[in-house]
């Protein structure tokens, strides 16, 4: 019982601090890629939020792993004959992200704020690392320790609730999309008893969209002096 208390205290603390960072940086969509491309957002705030998320959730993951034992198979990337379901979902996620990028911005080139070439070079690696840490926290340590303690149904419900709550102050489309996304990521992690299919799906969905938005709006090729 003391181990469980420590585990859930770490989960709650890491989640609460991360949620605080999200709320503070969410004002006026300052971290939204569309807002940044139109000069209404702040690249620095977005990059800072990613770094804060990596640190806060990463420390939480480390603390949880030290407080209790896990089956190491959960965290080791696997490829086997049953990879087809995950492969199909990953492909659908990629297409969904690209389609969203096409629709997201039909802004005139005149309205696009030139970005430093360093922004995409920093954003893409940080965003990738952030999503990996994010999924290990939600669909790795949190999900599987709750399954062990409370069973699958309760673990999925709590995981989904906390995941949707993080997105609740986003745009309505993203808010409701997080319900389906969170459920898919939980179920695929449980099906494979592994967090990496969820990581791959989330990476494909997010990066295909965000890289597509950057390329579509030529921000990769518009440079200003640092």
Predicted pLDDT of residue 216: 67
Q: How far apart, in whole angstroms, are the C-alpha atoms of residue 55 and residue 145?
A: 21
Q: How far apart, in whole angstroms, are the C-alpha atoms of residue 31 and residue 210?
A: 13
Predicted pLDDT of residue 109: 44
Predicted pLDDT of residue 29: 58
Q: Bin 167: left if φ > 0, else alpha if -120 < ψ < 50, else beta.
A: alpha
According to DSSP, residue 141 is labeled: I
Residues 31, 49: contact at Cβ < 8 Å? yes
Predicted pLDDT of residue 108: 41
Predicted pLDDT of residue 93: 82
CB atoms within 10 A of CB 218: 13
Enumerate residues 6+ apart whose C-beta is below 8 A from 81.
none
Ranges of residues in the chain with a pLDDT under 70 are 1-2, 27-30, 79-81, 100-116, 170-172, 216-226
Predicted pLDDT of residue 64: 93
Residues 34, 213: contact at Cβ < 8 Å? yes
CB atoms within 10 A of CB 157: 13
């Amino acid at each position: 019982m003391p181990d469980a208390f420590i585990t859930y205290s770490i989960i709650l603390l890491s989640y609460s601090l991360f949620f605080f960072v999200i709320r503070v940086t969410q004002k006026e969509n300052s971290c939204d890629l569309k807002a940044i491309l139109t000069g209404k957002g702040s690249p620095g705030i977005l990059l800072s939020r990613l770094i804060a998320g990596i640190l806060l959730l990463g420390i939480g993951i480390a603390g949880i792993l030290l407080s209790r034992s896990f089956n190491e198979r959960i965290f080791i990337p696997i490829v086997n004959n049953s990879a087809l379901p995950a492969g199909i979902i990953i492909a659908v996620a990629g297409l969904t992200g690209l389609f969203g990028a096409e629709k997201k911005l039909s802004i005139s080139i005149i309205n696009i704020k030139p970005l430093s070439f360093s922004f995409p070079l920093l954003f893409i690696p940080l965003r990738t690392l952030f999503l990996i840490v994010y999924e290990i926290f939600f669909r790795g340590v949190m999900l599987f320790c709750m399954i062990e303690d409370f069973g699958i149904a309760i673990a999925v419900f709590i995981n989904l609730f906390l995941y949707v709550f993080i997105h609740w102050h986003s745009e309505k489309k993203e808010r409701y999309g997080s319900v389906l996304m969170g459920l898919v990521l939980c179920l695929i992690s449980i099906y494979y008893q592994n967090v990496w299919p969820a990581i791959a799906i989330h990476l494909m969905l997010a990066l295909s969209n965000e890289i597509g938005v950057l390329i579509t709006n030529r921000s990769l090729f518009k440079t200003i002096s640092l």
